[in-house]
Amino acid sequence: MEKKQILSVMAAALMLIPASAGAKAKKKKAEKQLSTIEIIDKVNTHWQTANKPEVNAFWDNAAYFTGNMEAYKLTGNAKYLEYSDKWARHNKWSGATEQDPSKWQYKTYGEDQQHVLFGDWQICFQTYLDMYAMNPDPYKIARAKEVMGREASMSQNDFWWWIDALYMVMPVMTKMYNATGDVMYLDKLYANFKYADDLMFDKDEHLYFRDAKYIYPAHKTDEGKKDFWARGNGWALAGLAKVIADMPESYRHRAFFVERFRQLADAVSKCQQEDGYWTRSMLDAKQAEGPETSGTAFFAYGLLWGMNHGLLDRAVYGPVADKAWTYLSTVALQDDGSVGYVQPIGEKAVKGQKLTAANVTNFGTGAFLLAACEKVRYDDGSVMPATPVQFTVNVTNTLGSFRQEVVELDAKTVFAKLGISGGRQFQVYNAVGQQVPYQITYDGKVLIDAAVRPNGTAVFTFKKGTPKTFVNTCYGRMYPERVDDIAWENDRAAYRCYGPALQRTGEKSFGNDVWVKNTPELVVEQRYYIEDTSKAKIAQLKKTDPDAAKALEMATTYHYDQGNGLDCYKVGPTLGCGTPALIDGDNIVFPYCYKDYEILDNGPLRFTVKLVYNPSKYKTDANVVENRILSLDKNSNFNKMTVWYDGLTVPADLATGVVLHSEDVDNVVMGADYIQYADPTDNPAGQNFQIYVATLFPNGVSQTKKVMNANPVNGNAGHALGIVGNYKSGQKYTYYFGSAWSKYDCRSQAEWQERVNSALAGIKTPLTVEIK
């Protein structure tokens, strides 16, 4: 449902702006031609730069996010995922928020919080479910299960009484089935769709009326014709494409959805205008003259998707889609990356309403992204390749010990060999024929996870095709709910560093924190969520029942082991585990908290973040800025850290290492190119285990040494450090830091020493990668 009211001032203003589609197209012909995948980034970067993600979860915003997630699915761009994550958390993974099911409504349009069962408040669940598929924390789809589960169990089937609902909610149902395995969601999808179809589908024209009040002959255009709204039919075609994509081939009613999709696609293609767009009243161009982008984009998406998946004939529909894309990319797309000529929020073709390049909307941008992603796949023939396109990759281990590591290939080489323009348009298989995850990185690499026996070779096959969605084994984000922590993890351990909100409190915590875990599954988001959502109840109980408050705190805080590990590593005003710093003699110039961050990679196989710190003073230099890029790969106990400093005018000494705690200053080993330590935890008697930490210096250091505090405070006895002398401004220095837990993957310090030795050997003698 779209809002009926349009401000008269806005409408009047739009009428005063002359349309100039033809001139725009001529101008663009002279400009540099961008590839479609470059256009996707141009459009989405423009939108995300100009618009904050902290907006409500109503349909218009949520429709954009469906396009954003499609762009992420194709490209793997971590900034797109983070943008969706911020939106989902802002809305607490919910649509309308009314908690009392007896007050839930759907039979009339409503933007209030009681319209929980109204489809415009349910489209948000599409994005939440897509994100859950990669990081399956139960709280992310708890509200979706509550709302959609109730709807699926109700006897009524008149929920979708307006055409928009076919896009807003139908894909939610198939995604709910895929998340839960419960066929009731598919059956409710069919029942609801059958009601909508019986109500709105015109069996002569094979198009949909917008809702009951627009059905012919009760409603006609000014010329007396049937009035089929383009965006409404765009919602329907795109929604059917999404549903068929997620619906199992074996579902008993699948054929009905496919039939309607094909009928609608055929009818749509017949009323395209010569310039590639569709008019707002599809069979009566005079009702609202001129191009309109949102309907055109949804049609382009649906037609391209149908051809890509073998449901539509390329010979018939290819020319239609090509003309539509020409309009979208040369007229609708503006030089700054905005997408214009989008009909504002409404429900019909409005007589006299003029559209221009200035008519830009969230949902129109989302529709454009959907079409562009499908256009990439169409041009590259990547969904159902006409002929198999593949090659093999050999990963060889020249060492005498088993290794499992993430290896890198050049992405451009992979794309060229597969004949694709870029993005996640290929599959990777191991030697036994299993599809395995891969990742495209911000710096142009393709990552695969290779397990290779001693002196052996593992063979992988790369094939053109659409990859499966895999659960992440590496992931991180910024946690504004916990004073801007950046926390990240892989299948071995978790870490965090501290942000500007903590610095503003005055608390002095400088170094990297270590969180131990005993499972390969990701746990950090769930730990933060449980603790954060328990705080209010604990605070209330402290006023009335302190014992109950303490019991609840012990049962929810991540400072106690709730079954998968905990945070019991002391940092405070130290380097913690592996934090870099400049050092003047024995005086460490401690960094404070990061100033700016940028997540560059975010799963499934690698997390990478860039951190920039506030200017600090070093000797006579008053504006020294520290920069870090750190990454963590699947299977690794060690993070890779690259650090550099700008603003130095004289050589400096660079230090990194681990804090030594007063409870145990003996179990530290100082190697020539490493430091490793058995940390006693923040409560040795209570915890009764150890956290093994280390820093590795494969590129060498001038010396390793201990710098001890004359008067230890809060258990901070000093540091074990590697020192890089004669460091000059701007030089990048790379080292590694990491950890293991005596209750999980490393039972003794001797075993930790072996892990350190193995990691250094692997860094110095990497697995070799050969593309055949």
- At 156, the amino acid letter reads Q
Cβ atoms 88, 128 nearer than 8 A: yes
Cβ atoms 478, 499 nearer than 8 A: yes
Six token digits for residue 328 = 């979208």
The helix (H) or strand (E) run that includes residue 153 is helix 142-153
Residue 697: count other Cβ atoms within 10 Å of its Cβ. Answer: 23
Q: What angle separates helix 314-327 from helix 293-308, to the nearest 10 degrees? A: 150
Is 164 tagged catalytic? yes
Six token digits for residue 429 = 């298989």
Provide the pairing of β-strand 606-613 with 594-602: antiparallel
Nearest Cα neighbor of 377 from 37, 33, 45 is: 37
- Distance (Å, rounded) from C-alpha 691 to C-alpha 737? 13
CA dihedral 534, 540, 545, 551 (to 10 degrees): 10
Cβ atoms 125, 145 nearer than 8 A: no
List the end-to-end C-alpha distance of the chain, in Å, as a whole number: 53
34-65 as b/e, with b when 16 or more CB fall inside 10 Å? eebbebbbbbbebbbeeeebebbbbbbbbbbb
Cβ atoms 469, 463 nearer than 8 A: no
Query: Which residues share a beta bridge with 451?
Result: 404
- At 269, the amino acid letter reads S
Q: How many helices (H) and strands (E) does the chain have?
A: 21, 29
Nearest Cα neighbor of 102 from 140, 150, 166, 37 is: 150
Nearest Cα neighbor of 387 from 431, 415, 418, 414 is: 418
Among 41, 164, 284, 485, the one annotated catalytic: 164
Cβ atoms 676, 588 nearer than 8 A: no
- Distance (Å, rounded) from C-alpha 93 to C-alpha 103? 20
- Distance (Å, rounded) from C-alpha 123 to C-alpha 166? 10
Residue 203's contacts (CB-CB under 8 Å, 6 or more residues apart) are none
Q: State how far the alpha carbon of 262 is from the alpha carbons of 117, 318, 374, 441, 530, in Å.
A: 29, 14, 17, 38, 47
- Distance (Å, rounded) from C-alpha 464 to C-alpha 489? 30
Please return the burial class of 701, using the count of CB atoms within 10 Å of its CB with bins 0-12, 13-18 and 19+: buried
Residue 116: count other Cβ atoms within 10 Å of its Cβ. Answer: 26
3-state SS record for 229-270:
EHHHHHHHHHHHHHHHHHCCCCCCCHHHHHHHHHHHHHHHHH
- Distance (Å, rounded) from C-alpha 655 to C-alpha 510? 14
Cα 685 to chain centroid, rounded: 41
Q: What is the DSSP string of 290-301?
A: S--HHHHHHHHH
Residue 468: count other Cβ atoms within 10 Å of its Cβ. Answer: 10
Cβ atoms 318, 270 nearer than 8 A: no
Nearest Cα neighbor of 755 from 768, 771, 742 is: 742
Residue 249's contacts (CB-CB under 8 Å, 6 or more residues apart) are none
Nearest Cα neighbor of 135 from 651, 442, 538, 487 is: 487
Q: Which residues are catalytic?
A: 164
